[in-house]
Amino acid sequence: MSDLRHHLAERLARHLADVHQRIAEAAQAAGRDAQSVKLLAVSKTFPADAVRAAHAAGQRAFGENYVQEALDKIQTLADLRASLEWHFIGPLQSNKTRAVAEHFDWVHSVDRLKIAQRLSEQRPDSLPPLNVCLQVNVSGEASKSGVARDEAAAIAQQIAALPKLKLRGLMSIPEPAAELDAQRAPHRQLRELFERLCNDGLALDTLSMGMSADLEAAVLEGATIVRAGTAIFGARDYSR
C-alpha cells in the first residue's frame, strides 16, 4: 500500500470510529442498542479509492446520488462486490431506473409509484429482491422530493405488492435545523408515520433518516440507518 493510500485509510478509520461513537452515545441516551443503527457512508463525489479505504476500515454500506458516477465506482471496485452494499439515495429519473435496478442493493429515494414499478420490472431475476424505502417529504417543502405524508400509506401499500422489490421502510431529508429539538421534530413525524404503516399491516423495519449534522437527533427518534458523508470523507468539492 502506498503512503498516500495508507494515510487515507488511517484518516477514514479515525472518522468512522468517531461517527460510530456518536451513534453509540445517542443510542445509549435513547435506551437503544447501538447495533440497531446501521451507518451508511455517503460516498458521492469521492473517488473509488476512498470507498476502498473505508472498506479496509470495516465499512460495508455506501450511498451514492448520481447514477453514472456510482456505476463507474461499482465497476472499479468489482473485486469487492461480494462484501459491498450499494445504496442509491439520490433523486431517480425514469430513464435511470434500469441501471439502478441492475446494480444496486437498496434504493432509499423512491418518491412515486412509477419509479417503483420500473424498478420492479427491471430488477433481474438472478438478483434478490431490491430493498426500497419510500421517501417522504415530512416538512412539506415544494423544493423537496418525496411523497406527501397523507399520501404515503396508499403508495406504500402499492409498492409493497410489487414483485422483485422489498419495501423496507421510509426515508426523509428534512430541512436543516441547528437546535436538537428542531432536528428531532421531523424525524419524530417520520417515525410516527412508520408506526402507523406497521400497524396497518406492512412489515417494515427501516427508518433511513439523519445525516452528518443531525444523526444524534435521528437516532434518538428511532433511525435504523443514518447517512453520513462529510463526517467520514470530509468536505465535498462539487467543482470536479
pTM for the model stands at 0.96
pLDDT in tens, 91-111: 999 999 999 999 999 999 999
pLDDT surpasses 60 at 162: yes
Q: Where are the domains of the chain?
A: 3-232
On the question of pLDDT at 239 being above 80, the answer is no
The predicted pLDDT at position 140 comes to 79
CATH 3.20.20.10 fits 3-232, yes or no: yes
Give the model's confidence band at 37: pLDDT under 50 very low, under 70 low, under 90 confident, else very high.
very high
Residue 2 has pLDDT above 90, yes or no: no
pLDDT of 1 reads 55
Residue type, 152: A
Q: How confident is the model at residue 210 (pLDDT cuts 50, 70, 90)?
A: very high
Residue 78 in this model has a pLDDT that exceeds 60: yes
Q: What pLDDT is recorded for position 6?
A: 84
Question: What's the pLDDT score for residue 240?
Answer: 60
pLDDT digits (tens, 9 = 90+) for 111-131: 999 999 999 999 999 999 999
Mean pLDDT calculated for residue range 29-57 = 97
**pLDDT tens, residue by residue, 179-204:** 999 999 999 999 999 999 999 999 99
Report percent pLDDT > 90 for the chain. 91
Residue 50: predicted pLDDT: 97
